[in-house]
Amino acid sequence: MPKHFLTILDIPRDEARQVLLRAKEMKDNKVRTDLLAGKTLLLVFEKASTRTRVSFEVGVRQLGGDPVFITSKDSQLGRSEPLRDTARVLSRYADGLIVRTFGQEKLETLVEYGDIPVVNALTDEYHPCQIMADVLTMYERTPDLAKLKVAWIGDGNNMAHSFINGSVTFGYELAIACPAGYDPDPAVVDKAVGLGAKVSITRDPVEAATGAHYINTDVWASMGQEEEQKKREAAFTGFVVDENLMAKGAADAKFMHCLPAHCGEEVTESVFEGPNSIVWDQAENRLHMQKAILEWIYKN
């Protein structure tokens, strides 16, 4: 049976630690391998991307494989063919699917009807590759992840869901501050807490940020939510990560953002461009972590 990576919880805790260490080793030693030599991985993207596409294409090549990029505009993905049929066809052509799409159920259909590995490059529910890279970014500075407090300020979106799952796997405390009506999915929270995650939810960004070693946020209106922009701007008033909020964190607290950022909305430019911002390390670490995840999937 092929391995799949649909959420962080797909990797057992002990193996996730090894993936983390391997990503760090790959970064430090500029590792290139021929693990994927002779293999073709399809990047199936229904949502546009810069970092995800480039980091995966480069990563597949650095592991010796051949990436092929597909969008809904130039394939049957955006037309009438049932997804289950697409899954069965693509399984005959390629050795893996890296998928950036809308509903998580699409990935589950690809897994059910295909017989090659499926990697979640983003859905509306989860963004596990991003959070694994974020964990690597934190680990580089504070290796004892279980002693960390991480704050999430803003929407209880796919990023928040994957940070919640990351708390299960890596043991950090997670404090989430969301406006009313924008909480994470209770089922995601309940499952994680049941597995030992340390997660709290508040309406007060100051409460969440107080004592936090890493303070995270995301755009207020994600891809596909543009029509809600004005409504969300009103709802998220008071949830801006500014210098005052950063000052509530632990000494030398770091600012994180998955990008792209809207300076002047969810974060001030002074924080985004400031000395405690580590957003560019996060972006770079997508490449190294994704290579380590692919190695976990394909290495026997």
Asked if omega into 117 is within 30° of 0 (cis), the reply is no
Catalytic residue among 10, 134, 218, 281: 218
Q: Would you say 100 is a known binding-site residue?
A: yes
Catalytic residue among 124, 258, 281, 282: 258
Let me know: does 63 contact 294? Beta carbons within 8 Å.
yes
Catalytic residue among 178, 286, 288, 290: 286
Q: Would you say 184 is a known binding-site residue?
A: no
Q: Would you say 40 is a known binding-site residue?
A: no
Q: Dihedral of the CA atoms 266, 221, 118, 39 (nearest 10)? A: -70
Q: Would you say 202 is a known binding-site residue?
A: no
Q: Would you say 158 is a known binding-site residue?
A: yes
Q: Would you say 275 is a known binding-site residue?
A: no
Catalytic residue among 130, 155, 257, 288: 130
Q: Would you say 263 is a known binding-site residue?
A: no
How far does Cα 258 stand from its chain's mean position?
8
**Catalytic residue status for 127:** yes
Q: Would you say 200 is a known binding-site residue?
A: no
Burial label, 33 (beta-carbon count in 10 A; 0-12, 13-18, 19+): middle
Amino acid identity for residue 59 in this structure: G
Angle between helices 279-298 and 13-29 (to 10 degrees): 120
Q: Would you say 84 is a known binding-site residue?
A: no
Catalytic residue among 4, 127, 213, 257: 127
Let me know: does 179 contact 160? Beta carbons within 8 Å.
no
Q: Would you say 162 is a known binding-site residue?
A: no
Greatest Cα pair distance, the chain, in angstroms, is 55
Q: Would you say 75 is a known binding-site residue?
A: no
Dist. CA 139–CA 146, nearest whole Å: 10
Q: Would you say 237 is a known binding-site residue?
A: no
C-alpha distances (whole Å) from 39 to each of 91, 133, 243, 244, 277 are 12, 24, 47, 50, 37
Catalytic residue among 4, 22, 100, 288: 100
**Catalytic residue status for 22:** no
**Catalytic residue status for 286:** yes
**Catalytic residue status for 218:** yes
List the binding residues for L-ornithine: 158, 218, 222-223
List the binding residues: 49-52, 76, 100, 127-130, 158, 218, 222-223, 258-259, 286
List the binding residues for carbamoyl phosphate: 49-52, 76, 100, 127-130, 258-259, 286
Active site residues: 100, 127, 130, 218, 258, 286
